[in-house]
Structure 1
């Protein structure tokens, strides 16, 4: 199999872990780049050398730059982007801004393949009248027909993943959004396992809300999440979970003058975690520099190099029949002892992850065919 874009291997020098480990776990935590470390060190230098004056010297501008970099990556406007510390915080702000909607449309629909944070938050909102419907998947994905049959005029939100973390399956969120809109509902997309490794154009997809973060494919580490809210929807939300960064008159410091920001910053709250913002911006700059289409082409080819060779050995890959366009850069292989196997691989300096019943492999633009071979040969021995 030909792996495209070998020119991207020049980026390997920016990721020190790649000289020490076979790192095949970007779907859990993206590798740390020297650029990201330098960005965080730059923040610390500002703090040390300038103290509070760093806010107006640099830091406010970095917040705007970070919103702009993410907007560029997903085809949005900077005014449609908010920065938050976690998806939980983003969902909390969103939910607290639509209480009146739940009076007439109490239902939120998600799936049992979505990350549990989604379930936990909406289960907590049951006390505010939200009714959570969880669609059962087939272990790999949830058919669109199932979504269509479940959506109704009682549905407020269709909340689900662009890419399922348990299988790597890509959902057609454009069609799903059209189905939601046909019933008057909004689409809220958890793109944590998608954006960065998949080209994402929110305008072409038509999604209403999209959220993702730096932890995985966006190479920014923990503590930074990006929330996109479609421009026309922004005025509809007045979050109860709020703070001074959501105030249109933020620097007036007037306790009697609160007006929601006219743009997506109304979803922000208190002082942001600046070290994470600096790290996040550096990661986004790398991805915008490369371009998501090139990343997707290389990642998919590396993924199927592994899948094809694993299946030739008779190993059980979840969703093995999925076509390349249906799968992101994640594969799960069913094994008897995923925890033990992951630990044994770590002893060989091969880093991947596990989920119930399977080891989880992921590849990225900085990985190589040779690393796939090293993993496969190690599995040959360990599964003998």
Structure 2
């Protein structure tokens, strides 16, 4: 989660030469997977770029800061609340302590990439409305697995990815902006596709497109969007409740195995409080890079953040594969 004193800029986006096919890709993300209503939404090359939100003409409340200078260039200044020592995630009540009326923008990470901790969005959004903040939600770590609706609770913008549970390639994410805000937004990062007429070459007559297209930028990249279409087509045709149930069976087994191995969980145990991944804290005598390498040598793909081992059983992960992971992990830890 992040709180910022002001909002700044938006992003480039990929565009297919066949607009109907790209529209189909966006609809898969929107209607079935990302909980986004019909436009306004646009593709985004990177979620990181999507996190730089729209800039509004109306001035946002600013946190008192010294004037820009060598020590403080202009831009976004987050109020970051790190987790308490020994705790893998920030509890909402700790985050709310810093969410005051001076906060112009709050970006909520629905599911954490380092703990799989899942936020209860409703009370956070309600608090943000009382503070008068713009509210965005990053659903990257959950889109395609957990049901999401950008209207319940209603947020100002949503960003996501074509990766992870969506099964696509990098570079074909999505941005949704609440229709009521579009006319107020003037993205600082703009290009010829930000205009109503992209072929207007008179820079003195530049004008933002009247709709969501104003969040486009320069010459679009199409490869990622086109490369993701087969995966998104496949994903949109699946039984999403069955995909989630499959993930829950495997994550339950992983948590059970972690307990048997004496490994500390860095993920909440209750299902409603977590996403689709399970994070385990490895003992310091077993460096995580070495454990990941041993698993990879046996055909098991995992990753780590520090000493935290990240396990994300997806649509193609089998129960047999999960048992093999547990067996190899146990041997790697010599337990």
TM-score (norm 1): 0.74
Q: Does 1:70 align with 2:70?
A: no
Among candidates 122, 133, 155, match of residue 79 of structure 2: 133
Match of 1:48 in 2: none
- 8 Å Cα contact 2:116-2:275 kept in structure 1: yes
TM-superposition CA deviations, 1:64-122 (whole Å, max 9, x none)? 33322222133323322111211233234x25x237534x3348xxxxxxxxxxxxxxx
Q: Please report how far the alpha carbon of residue 247 of structure 1 lies from its aligned counterpart in structure 2 after TM superposition.
A: 1.1
Higher mean displacement: 327-336 or 244-253: 244-253
1:1-384 mapped onto 2 (5 Å cutoff): 58-72=17-31, 73-92=33-52, 94-95=53-54, 97-98=55-56, 101-102=59-60, 104-106=61-63, 127-128=73-74, 130-138=76-84, 139-251=87-199, 255-319=203-267, 322-335=269-282, 336=284, 337-384=287-334
Query: 2: distance between equivalents of 1:275 and 1:144?
Result: 39
TM-superposition CA deviations, 1:211-236 (whole Å, max 9, x none)? 11123222221122211111211111
Query: 2: distance between equivalents of 1:171 and 1:67?
Result: 25
TM-superposition CA deviations, 1:280-318 (whole Å, max 9, x none)? 333322222114433222212211111112212322222
RMSD of the alignment, in Å? Answer: 2.6
Query: 1: distance between equivalents of 2:271 and 2:278?
Result: 11
- 8 Å Cα contact 2:58-2:184 kept in structure 1: no
Q: Report SS of the residue matched to 2:279.
A: strand
Higher mean displacement: 238-247 or 278-287: 278-287
Q: Report SS of the residue matched to 1:189.
A: strand
- 8 Å Cα contact 2:34-2:144 kept in structure 1: no
- 8 Å Cα contact 2:40-2:211 kept in structure 1: yes
Query: 2: distance between equivalents of 1:255 and 1:131?
Result: 31
Query: Which runs of 5 or more residues in structure 2 are unaligned?
Result: 1-14, 65-69
- 8 Å Cα contact 2:208-2:214 kept in structure 1: yes
Query: 1: distance between equivalents of 2:36 and 2:299?
Result: 40
- 8 Å Cα contact 1:249-1:257 kept in structure 2: no
Q: Report SS of the residue matched to 2:159.
A: strand
Query: 1: distance between equivalents of 2:196 and 2:258?
Result: 55
Q: Report SS of the residue matched to 1:188.
A: strand
Query: 1: distance between equivalents of 2:264 and 2:297?
Result: 23
Count matched residues: 310
Match of 1:118 in 2: none
TM-score (norm 2): 0.84
Q: Report SS of the residue matched to 2:278.
A: strand
Match of 2:10 in 1: none
Shift in CA distance, 293/176, structure 1 to aligned 2, threshold 3 Å: farther
Query: 2: distance between equivalents of 1:86 and 1:130?
Result: 18
- 8 Å Cα contact 1:248-1:258 kept in structure 2: no
- 8 Å Cα contact 2:189-2:217 kept in structure 1: yes
Q: Report SS of the residue matched to 1:135.
A: coil
Q: Please report how far the alpha carbon of residue 272 of structure 1 lies from its aligned counterpart in structure 2 after TM superposition.
A: 2.1
Query: 2: distance between equivalents of 1:282 and 1:81?
Result: 21
Query: Which runs of 5 or more residues in structure 1 are unaligned?
Result: 1-53, 108-123
